[in-house]
Amino acid sequence: MLCEMCGIDVANPILSKISGTILQTCQKCSTMGVEASEREKVGNEKYISDVMNKRSNRLREKVNKTEKILISDFGNLIKNGRERKKWSQQELASKISEKKSTIASIENKQYKPEKKLIRKLETVLEIKLMEAIEIKEEMKSSKATGMTLADLMEKGNG
């Protein structure tokens, strides 16, 4: 291996940054430059894959935020829960101080119960009507501000 600065033969060349260029040099010439940065040592490809991994880890963390919403199949859940208890719609209605027509509308999904009524139904039927969903807002924002692999490549070459 020849030193890329002075051209002498070196057994163990040192990676040095000299005037912004990475060169393999002898010990003596390496003192003219600064030691190559981590990115320059590992090479662009690995650097980029590391960056991309860190980015996707970060996105995963953010996506873990959850919110509770009414399960979309609430009508069937309530109907099945009521039938398991062997109650008529009228019986269920009177247990939670509602009208039979309200129960019928909820089971048909014509009417979406509000939180207070959901809790009453959950308690009396011993079912869960709320489900946790992941909030994916962060995906949107990463699209707006995020860099693509191509962006990184461009920066790497610059």
Q: Shortest approach of Zn ion to residue 16 CB, angstroms?
A: 9
Exactly one of 26, 92, 93, 125 binds Zn ion (CB under 5 A); that residue is 26
| Nearest CB to Zn ion, comparing residues 25 and 89 | 25
DSSP string, 46-90: HHHHHHHHHHHHHHHHHHT-EEEEE-TTHHHHHHHHHHHTT--HH
6 binds Zn ion (CB under 5 A): yes
Contact 133, 67 (CB under 8 A): yes
| Residue position matching structure tokens 């163990």 | 12
SS3 at position 119: helix
Residue 19: CB minimum distance to Zn ion, A: 14
Minimum Å distance from CB 33 to Zn ion?
A: 11
Q: Which is nearer to Zn ion, 3 or 93 (CB)?
A: 3
Q: For Zn ion, which stretch binds (CB under 5 A), given 25-33, 72-80, 105-113, 139-147?
A: 25-33
Among 23, 29, 106, 121, binds Zn ion (CB under 5 A): 29
- Rounded-to-integer distance, Cα 72 and Cα 32, Å: 68
Q: Does 14 help bind Zn ion (rule: CB under 5 A)?
A: no
DSSP 8-state class, residue 25: E
By beta-carbon proximity to Zn ion, the closer residue of 30 and 89 is 30
Direct distance between the N- and C-terminal alpha carbons of the chain, in angstroms, rounded to an integer = 27
Comparing CB distances to Zn ion, the nearer of 8 and 149 is 8
